[in-house]
Amino acid sequence: MSMARLSTEDGERESKRSKKGNSPVLGFSDEDKIGTIQPYDDALVVTLRIRWFDVKRVLVDPGSAMEVMYPDLYKGLNLKPEDLMAYDSPLVSFKGKTVIPKGQIRLPIQTGSEVVEVDFIVIDAYSPYMTIVTRPWLHAVGAVSFTLHQKVKYPSGGQVEEIGVDQAMARQCVVVAISR
């Protein structure tokens, strides 16, 4: 009787494994480094389709927990102040300065055939980036980012897809930020 129970439990475990086995494995190898500019310690800067527009200079920051949008992108997407929802928690900038957000807005980001809605905090501050996408977006898409390989990968239709990283643009953003 106990053997039957173990057998059933083992069968359930095996069933879970096989379901997981059908998912694509998101991984990185040395081959993923081919085409990168060497040597480097660049940030991940990509182009994403936000609100049906291709937006360049998007920083992927897996270490942060909230998406941030800067004024140039907000205006470029033809959004108005009345499109914002209230957001009253202050943020602290990299320089330690308190920044009061203008508000929050939910917008779609398309990755391949997937579209996820993302809450952006809109702040009126300078940045060489148009926006920053963070863990909530990465998790919603099921994406994995890796700066060493300059790649963002995500599952789509049983396959692994990549988002093109623009290493040259990442370097330009650093130069602009330093010169400011």
3-state SS assignment for residue 117 = strand
Q: How many residues does the chain have?
A: 180
What is the predicted pLDDT for the residue at 47? Answer: 95
pLDDT digits (tens, 9 = 90+) for 72-118: 999 999 999 999 999 989 988 777 888 899 999 999 999 988 899 99
Tell whether the model's pLDDT for residue 3 goes beyond 70. Answer: no
**What pLDDT shows up at residue 13?**
34
CA 27/CA 29 separation, integer angstroms: 7
Residue 8 pLDDT exceeds 60: no
What's the pLDDT at 97? 85
Q: How many helices (H) and strands (E) does the chain have?
A: 4, 11
- Closest-CA residue to 59 (of 170, 168, 172): 170
Write out the two tokens for 6. Answer: 């173990």
Q: How many Cα atoms are found within 13 Å in the side-chain-facing hemisphere of 71?
A: 6
Q: What is the DSSP letter of 97?
A: -
Q: Is the pLDDT of residue 123 over 90?
A: yes
Lowest pLDDT segment from 3-12, 13-22, 25-34: 3-12
Closest CA to 115 of 134, 136, 141, 139: 141
Query: What are the tens digits of pLDDT across the range 23-82?
Result: 788 888 888 888 888 778 899 999 999 999 999 999 999 999 999 999 999 999 999 999
> Which domains, ranges and CATH numbers included, belong to the chain?
28-179 (2.40.70.10)
What pLDDT sits at residue 14?
Answer: 34
